Structure 1
Amino acid sequence: MVDIDKSFPGVRALAKAHFELKPGEVHALMGENGAGKSTLMKILSGVYARDAGDIRLDGQNVEIASPRQAQDLGIGIIHQELALMRDLTVAQNIFIGREPRRFGILDEGQLNRDAAAIFASMNLALEPTVRVETLTIAKQQMVEIAKALSYRSRVLIMDEPTAALNDAEIAELFAIINRLKAEGVGVVYISHKMDEIKRISDRVTIMRDGEYVGTVPAADTPIETIISMMVGRTLSGDTLVVPDTSAAPIALEVRNLNRGREIRDVSFAVRKGEILGFAGLMGAGRTEVARAVFGADRRDGGEILVHGQPIAITSPKDAVDAGIGYLSEDRKHFGLATGLDVRNNIALASLDRFTGLGGILDEAGMEQKAVGYIRQLAIKTPSDVQEARLLSGGNQQKVVIAKWLLRDCDILIFDEPTRGIDVGAKSEIYKLLNALAGQGKAIIVISSELPEVLRLSHRIAVMCEGRLTGFLPGGASQQDIMRLATLRPSAVAEQSIERRST
């Protein structure tokens, strides 16, 4: 890709961008949110049309006017935001538009056998007839990968493919990528996770503000150099300072929370000014606890107290009225109204404050608040009336954060707050969370990245198989967390009995 230009209304997304890929290599594409990475790859995959520049395949200029044309050329893409049809089965999603037919009639049996063969090659235990809506985000991500592999692509673009995967799933994905490399497939790998880039990629191309910065070998280039090229500055690491909140009032207390096998007798408390981190492996029950507390999922039993008072929370509205805000791990489906503009998304949880007589909205007031948060959080958008769907993933995440900041909730639950966000924006969000705690907010952070949990948390709650297996102080080690994250429920019960007898 040579001298690629692309503009949208009010913003120039790419300016003479450059990228090259060799057969059988993993080439990482990096940059801050809004740097143009996803836009460049959407042009390569036929989603967007370029304004200028050349695309060459095997040295020959090609025109890619649609995703189908890209697929016909052997170019496949796994988007950062999942694009599956939730009411269809896994197999139907993989082969949509390419279904096998027998005598002109859909051959459902062959469809499922073909999907099962792909899953077997991926070493993935997944039933082809399961509906996508019943799957976790991690499983849906694996379906997207299987769909891309079904095209037998010679160029495979992976945009944040591990954002919702656990360590075992990531290891399996990397094994799949290495097999593809051996077969001569070129892989474009977009990620903000530096350890992954070092593990899997051969070369790294860095973009900044829609422009090409440079290409470096992954093995020989220090992480600090890559980060500096991405952000144009050196980021300093923050040292965790754990405030003494032992005398602070308890803002949120959860007692004996239960929901089937997902949540089993979970109890915890978080004080004003405290950041309580939730750690655990995928499927440990962390998100399920957050959704139950927020009223998004029905709970079988348990009690929720806010500022010492029992609160009946049966819906998200009850939770918001009680001063609880929840930033979901799935911002596209549960955090944003992507068809609305930035202004309305920021005001979404606070519309009652902008509604006057006759239900008329105070648009001027909404604009003032939205513009203020756009500046405070450095949201990259041409204006507050830009549609949220046109923003990069990281900037969409900032819009969701702005929504809850405007609501001014006393208790904030952040579920994977930096998923799909670059290192520069991560640093900004870390500072923001610490500032909110300094203002007396009670904060729960759920993260699958152990360094993030350790960097942010004043205390750490660890879960395994739906149970809380222990609490750790700020400054604990990754080994401490993993020990509790892999503790069998029977062992937890034994330790509980032992503690009671002691």
Structure 2
Amino acid sequence: MTVLSLRGISKTFGAVAALTDIELDVAAGQVVAVVGDNGAGKSTLVKILSGVHPADAGTITFEGSTVEIHSPAAAHKLGIATVFQDLALCENLNVIQNLFLGHEIRPLRLNDVAMETRSWELLRQLSAKIPSVRVPVAALSGGQRQTVAIARSLLGDPKVIILDEPTAALGVAQTAEVLNLVERLRENGLGVIMISHNMADVQAVADKVAVLRLGRNNGVFDVGQVSTEEIIAAITGATDNVVSRRNQRGAQS
């Protein structure tokens, strides 16, 4: 079932067209990788879906209803969570404090026990390898910090999670750990949009690859039926747009 659908999404900044007539579909339990060179429009797309920037034109459909996303709070209320590349974690706070920062459980005072219990529930949902929820985030590895950021995004029970370059600057073991998290999200029935430059990561976990080039769609591919070379050709513009559109129709059929 398609949970999120974009049609004709466009965004300009002054005289610069950042996005033009973007189309994208994300189903429940599906990982869609969005790839493209620098300046392709990936960051702008993430900001539109997360409510940072409103789209200038186009339609966003969420769970069958046309919606407008004018703020991060509106995206959160809908069920769209975003984990940005910088993670926005407080290194001096522990895992529990980071997970519930700004959303503390407190009928009259902080309910530390309830927050610890919920923290472990979220981490177990991801099959995460965190030694303790009482350790400061500063003591965690890059992969473990990504785990905390993803777990925090699950607090609002989202239907779609956007991961912005989740494996950037991570080592081999930490990257594998994060890719396992992405698979857990899919197994839990969430739609996942993964922004990535790493083709190995894309082909390891994605179901579909949507290529953006110069702010436009340049192909949607089924990962099981496309090579890394074909994806790179679409990113660089080496493929003819007619071929890309044919691949797009085939992937959506």
TM-score, normalization by structure 2: 0.84
Between 1 and 2, higher relative CO (CA 8 Å, sep ≥ 6) is seen in 2
1:258 maps to 10
1:90 maps to none
Q: Alpha-carbon deviations, 1:418-477, whole Å to 9, x = none?
A: 223232232233233223212221111111101111111111100111111111111211
2:83 maps to 327
1:438 to 187, 194, 219: 187
* 1:415 maps onto 2:164 in alignment: yes
Amino acid at match of 1:465: L
Aligned-pair Cα RMSD in Å: 2.6
1:468 to 203, 217, 230: 217
Matches within 5 A, 1:13-24: none
1:55 maps to none
2:61 to 281, 305, 308: 305
Amino acid at match of 1:287: S
Matches within 5 A, 1:31-70: none
CA–CA separation in structure 1 for the residues paired with 2:11 and 2:136: 37
Amino acid at match of 1:370: S
1:276 to 32, 48, 51: 32
Q: How far has the Cα of 1:273 moved from its partner?
A: 1.3
Q: Alpha-carbon deviations, 1:367-396, whole Å to 9, x = none?
A: 12224455641125xx43433344333322
1:480 maps to 230
Amino acid at match of 1:284: A
CA–CA separation in structure 2 for the residues paired with 1:339 and 1:316: 25
2:150 to 397, 401, 414: 401
SS at structure 2 position matched to 1:262? strand
Paired residues of 1:282 and 1:448 also in contact (CA < 8 A): no
2:203 to 446, 450, 454: 454
Structure number with larger C-alpha Rg: 1
Q: Rate the CA distance shift 1:340–1:299 in 2: closer, same or farther, 3 A.
A: farther
Q: How far has the Cα of 1:324 moved from its partner?
A: 0.8
1:292 to 48, 51, 59: 48
Q: Rate the CA distance shift 1:438–1:391 in 2: closer, same or farther, 3 A.
A: closer
Amino acid at match of 1:379: I
1:345 maps to 98
CA–CA separation in structure 1 for the residues paired with 2:121 and 2:141: 19
Q: How far has the Cα of 1:484 moved from its partner?
A: 1.0
CA–CA separation in structure 1 for the residues paired with 2:217 and 2:179: 25
Q: Percent identity?
A: 28
Q: Alpha-carbon deviations, 1:203-250, whole Å to 9, x = none?
A: xxxxxxxxxxxxxxxxxxxxxxxxxxxxxxxxxxxxxxxxxxxxxx21
5+ residue gaps in structure 2? 249-253
1:392 maps to 141
1:377 maps to 128
Paired residues of 1:348 and 1:403 also in contact (CA < 8 A): no
Q: How far has the Cα of 1:339 moved from its partner?
A: 4.3
Paired residues of 1:275 and 1:445 also in contact (CA < 8 A): yes
Amino acid at match of 1:347: F
Paired residues of 2:147 and 2:181 also in contact (CA < 8 A): no
Q: Alpha-carbon deviations, 1:259-312, whole Å to 9, x = none?
A: 212212111111111111111112211122111111122332222211011122
1:362 maps to 111
Q: Rate the CA distance shift 1:267–1:348 in 2: closer, same or farther, 3 A.
A: farther
Q: How far has the Cα of 1:366 moved from its partner?
A: 0.8
User: How many residues get paired?
Assistant: 239
CA–CA separation in structure 1 for the residues paired with 2:231 and 2:244: 17
Matches within 5 A, 1:76-91: none
SS at structure 1 position matched to 2:100? helix
5+ residue gaps in structure 1? 1-248
